[in-house]
Amino acid sequence: WARAVRGLLLDVSGVLYDSGGDGGVPIAGSVEAVRRIKASGLKLRFCTNETQATREKFVKKLQGMGFDISVAEVTAPAPAACRILKERSLRPHLLVHNDLVPEFAEVDKTNPNCVVIGDAAENFTYANLNEAFRVLIGMEKPVLISLGRGRYYKETDGLKLDVGAYMKALEYACDVQAEVVGKPAKMFFESALAEMGVPPQQAIMIGDDIVNDVGGAQRCGIRALQVRTGKYRPCDENHPHVKPDAYVNNLAEAVDIILQQL
């Protein structure tokens, strides 16, 4: 599975670091692994569904942990959503984390004709959910754009419901289907490939999420590895629909194998 590779797509949380209320901790070997990828001449994109912060803030956090990463190397849902909003003249009501709001600075938000939902965390209040619901149910044809469909994630203080759960609540209440712009959406992986200038059959996705990372990438014809770090659970290996091209213990091991084949 490691042959003929020209570009790597790396999930971030659970592959580079373990997140937590206090920022997070790098996963052993990952800082060095990113450095080795860059030294090898392979193309590289960081593919995150992170929607709790602007890319600027997100990248700064990773740099603080020692990672060689820049904003221009990150593929994330919020900029993808902004492109869609612009193309379709949509004015969003935002149900997102406060720290993500600056990503939508250039977008007209007056008199909303759609709802954009991200991982709003503490902003997922009863009042805010009712408000987003009222905007949607007031439209003739509700438009709900979701910056991901994750079920839950782990922070140092425990598991948290992710954006997908709240997306489902609004979908059910309004009888609509959300348009998902983060992983595992096809468009998300296609953007990342285009940004690298690498065709799917020459790319490998490395992630900890069997559905959003592995399943999403494979549906685009990209090989995908699951790391046994982050949210990986042994039962993932019996997933009824998705089978990774390979398992690796962590990013460092994946990079070892891939670089040996170059």
Q: With respect to its own copies, which residue has the nearer C-beta, 1 or 152?
A: 152
98: contact with its own copies by CB under 8 A: no
162: contact with its own copies by CB under 8 A: yes
154: contact with its own copies by CB under 8 A: no
Instruction: With contacts defined by CB under 8 A, name the span among 38-46, 152-160, 177-185, 253-261 that binds its own copies.
Output: 152-160
93: contact with its own copies by CB under 8 A: no
With CB under 8 A as the rule, give the number of residues binding its own copies: 28
With tokens 């997100």, the residue in question is 58
139: contact with its own copies by CB under 8 A: no
Q: Among 39, 137, 257, 262, which residue sits at the site for its own copies (rule: CB under 8 A)?
A: 137
Q: Prior bond to 184 cis, omega within 30?
A: yes
CA-to-CA dists, residue 66 to 32, 53, 59, 86, 225, angstroms: 9, 19, 11, 35, 24
228 — phi, psi (to 5°)?
Answer: -95, 45
Chain positions 169 to 188 lying near its own copies, rule: CB under 8 A, are 169-175
144: contact with its own copies by CB under 8 A: no
Helix, strand, coil % (nearest 5) of the chain? 40, 20, 40
161: contact with its own copies by CB under 8 A: yes
| 3-state class (DSSP) for residue 100 | helix
* Shortest separation between residue 124's beta carbon and its own copies, angstroms: 5
Radius of gyration of the chain (CA): 18
* Shortest separation between residue 88's beta carbon and its own copies, angstroms: 25
Is there a contact between 125 and 137 (Cβ–Cβ < 8 Å)?
no
236: contact with its own copies by CB under 8 A: no
* Shortest separation between residue 25's beta carbon and its own copies, angstroms: 21
Q: With respect to its own copies, which residue has the nearer C-beta, 177 or 249?
A: 177
Q: With respect to its own copies, which residue has the nearer C-beta, 165 or 259?
A: 165
* Shortest separation between residue 129's beta carbon and its own copies, angstroms: 6
CA-to-CA dists, residue 240 to 208, 211, 237, angstroms: 17, 11, 9
d(CA 143, CA 81): 13
* Shortest separation between residue 13's beta carbon and its own copies, angstroms: 17
Q: Burial letters for 157-181: b for 16+ Cβ neighbours within 10 Å, e otherwise?
A: eeebebbbebbebbbeebebebebb
Is there a contact between 99 and 54 (Cβ–Cβ < 8 Å)?
yes
73: contact with its own copies by CB under 8 A: no
Which residues of this protein are in contact with its own copies, per CB under 8 A? Answer: 121-122, 124-126, 129-130, 133-134, 137, 151-152, 158-162, 164-166, 168-175
